[in-house]
Structure 1
Amino acid sequence: MMSATYTDLMMKKFSADNPDDAFPGLVRTPMMIPKHWALKPFLPLISTAAFTVEPEVCAEYQLSALFDSTPGFTRRGAKGDNIGYEAANPENVRQLWDHTVGAMKD
């Protein structure tokens, strides 16, 4: 539960710093295909376990989100629909960010 909250706060910070960027999720591109011959039979399992989507499907979701977008941070479901967000206290976001930056420097 805490990691999901921290991830939401991190994404809120990234969104505030980069308002024009969007994250489509994991897209099933050639980079996701295992290179070793012994792992290639497991591609369907890897794709399912990683919750990847085809590039065409990702594009549809991104277009629907683009035309139904709200400025700033939003939470979107698997199909690009806005699933709502209860705003975090900006001071908590700043404290978490400062802590994270400090921890990464050590």
Structure 2
Amino acid sequence: MRYRLTFVAGLALGYVLGTRAGHERYEQLKKSMRQVAQNPAVRNTAETAAHQSRELAGKALHTVSEKVGDRVPDSVTNRVRSLRERNAAGSGEDDWGTSNT
């Protein structure tokens, strides 16, 4: 019960402080985040991380497929195959139509 009261008190305090900060603070944070997201160094780092994660995922897929073999359902196998073919085509976009570049 004490933890619930602490949680509710935290929510109330956050709400009050958030409403006092107002719309100006929200806009300031939004502008700062936009500047960070448009920074070339940040974009290059994000692209490098995405590329490395794709490589590691490919290695993991190979290792898992060797160990699991034919025990994976066909629906999963077909979905993974179609995703890999689509990504190999070089569209660079994810399911939401966004890309790192």
TM range, smaller chain:
under 0.3
TM-score, normalised by the number of residues in structure 1: 0.24
Report the structure, 1 or 2, having the larger helix content. 2
**Which has the higher Rg, Structure 1 or Structure 2?**
2
